[in-house]
Amino acid sequence: MQLQGYVDGLAKRGLTVYGTVVRQHNREIASHYWRADERINIHSLSKSFLSCAVGIAIDEGLMKLDDQVISYFPEKLDASPTPWQEKLTIRNLLTMSPGHSKGILLGDQRDALEDTDWVHYFLNYPMDFEPGTQFAYDTGATFMCSAILQKQSGMTALDYLKPRLFTPLGIRNPQWFTSPDGITLGGGGLHLNVKEISRFGQMLLDKGVYEGKRLVPEEYLALATRKQIDNEGTPDWSQGYGFQFWRCVPEHVFRADGAFGQYGVVFEDKDTVLILQSSSSNQQEQLTCAWEALLPAITDEETLPESPMAHVLKKRLEKAEITPMLSSRNPWSEKEIEGKKFAFTEEVPGLVDFIGGVWIVAPQGGVTKTLRFEFAPEKANLVFEQDNGEFTAEIGLQSHFTSFTLGGRTYGAVGRWRSDKRFELEVRCAESAGGRRMIFTFDGDALTLETESTMAISGGIADRPYKRYMLKAE
């Protein structure tokens, strides 16, 4: 299978992809990774794992699709149930049709909630229409499935799935966000790497079987992955929704889907799985690129003639490019500023908040006092001294992003000298779209720092999309 056109298509569209795996005929035929073992938040792709948990639980007799939701939590209702509350079923939760005109318990909503009992909050939230009649993407609905599973099994969805799904798929010690009272979020917050997702995708392609062992009931997956309700949106978000799975524009294709381009795409008639871990707000473009460039390249041929440009493709796949920056070094300028501490002349947020990114809505706090650079042969460190400690961003200086972890999140950074006085740096968050672009201009003991978001639609938490800071050497 030739992937040159697909890789080129991603680059032309400026789409940020951290990891890709293509599996065909139960073997990996192409892959690239930024960091193969790096687990990141797969966001709403988590919902498809939770859906599988429900399917297993149904098979074990713990629940039924048409069970009344309030029957599990009658004590959580503030008043006598309404006719619509009585009609709400697990099936409605799975199809994102619980009766709300908009989703609840999304990331920013969860952070702002005063009610820490999310089951109580969901069940008493006003309904706008009869359950099962209208689709409205609702992370709260997935959370309720998780809550029911926990009540019936006596364990969190995470613990429930460990022996039944995670361990058989070779996923060891996964992490999954929970509610304040210890219920697995379900609708987001599962952290996995691209290899682990690819094994999940293979299991879906094989109708619930992995390495000869049945993990998820075939009958349930057949329902879960086909259209159960109409939906509206951009092309690939209007092809019908199953039980926490999306149908796609091409026939015989469905997907598990998470924010910023976390995808497990199953080509049912091609015996192929595509896995993406990305960081882009333009998710439709990511899928369109796959349909236009990847889908035609999928063949049943085991081997194909090697392209004259195969070596170029190999290099790209090895590096997992994130719009690489042509690097240039300036050893004289680096020596001049090495270790020099520059103090901000105004209050500046801590490094995590300073970098920002879309949907990073919970500030980690701290006030930055100074910054300094430390240069090495292949990378540099940008060190922020804050009132709550010292924090470091590792910067790649060989045209490619270097990854580092900060505040529980994974970032990539790359830098270059634009002149002997100007250093350009880009930092991106792997768990969201966007980040911070910074231009440092040095003039003796004075430093000017110009910043902007890497995305036009977001300026991070504490900053406008563009801002200039003045610093002085101590």
> Quick one: average pLDDT of 163-171?
98
Contacts of 27 (CB under 8 A, 6+ apart): none
Determine the pLDDT at residue 459: 42
Determine the pLDDT at residue 36: 66
One domain for residues 249 and 368: no
Query: Is residue 467 scored above 70 in pLDDT?
Result: yes
Q: Which residue has the tokens 């998710």?
A: 283
CB atoms within 10 A of CB 298: 18
278/176 Cα distance (integer angstroms)? 19
Q: What is the pLDDT of residues 209-266, one digit of tens each?
A: 999 999 999 999 999 999 999 999 899 999 999 999 999 999 999 999 999 889 999 9
Tokens of 370: 């100074």
Beta bridge partners of 382: 373, 393
Q: What is the pLDDT of residues 38-47, one digit of tens each?
A: 788 899 999 9
In a domain, 138, yes or no: yes
> Quick one: average pLDDT of 362-391?
90
- Which of 279, 297, 315 is where one domain is finished? 297
Beta bridge partners of 455: 458
Q: Which residue has the tokens 């969201």?
A: 432
One domain for residues 285 and 365: no
On average, the pLDDT of the chain sits at 87
The CATH code of the domain that includes 221 is 3.40.710.10
- Structural domain of residue 436, as residue ranges? 331-473
In a domain, 318, yes or no: no
Please report which confidence band the pLDDT of residue 377 belongs to, taking 50, 70 and 90 as the band edges.
confident
Query: Is residue 408 scored above 90 in pLDDT?
Result: no
In a domain, 314, yes or no: no
One domain for residues 273 and 382: no
In a domain, 302, yes or no: no
How many domains does the chain contain in total?
Answer: 2
Q: What is the pLDDT of residues 283-333, one digit of tens each?
A: 898 899 889 988 888 876 544 444 444 455 455 545 544 444 556 788 899
410/403 Cα distance (integer angstroms)? 7
Query: Is residue 421 scored above 80 in pLDDT?
Result: yes
In a domain, 315, yes or no: no
In a domain, 88, yes or no: yes
One domain for residues 250 and 356: no
> Quick one: average pLDDT of 461-474?
76
DSSP 163: I
The closest alpha carbon to 422, from 447, 401, 442, 405, belongs to: 442
One domain for residues 260 and 363: no
- Which of 297, 317, 347 is where one domain is finished? 297
Query: Is residue 372 scored above 60 in pLDDT?
Result: yes
Determine the pLDDT at residue 320: 47
Cα 383 to Cα 294, 394, 399: the distances in Å are 41, 9, 20
One domain for residues 226 and 360: no
pTM of the model: 0.84
Determine the pLDDT at residue 418: 87
Determine the pLDDT at residue 460: 43
The closest alpha carbon to 123, from 81, 183, 182, belongs to: 81
> Quick one: average pLDDT of 113-130?
93
Q: What is the pLDDT of residues 335-362, one digit of tens each?
A: 999 999 999 999 998 988 888 876 655 6
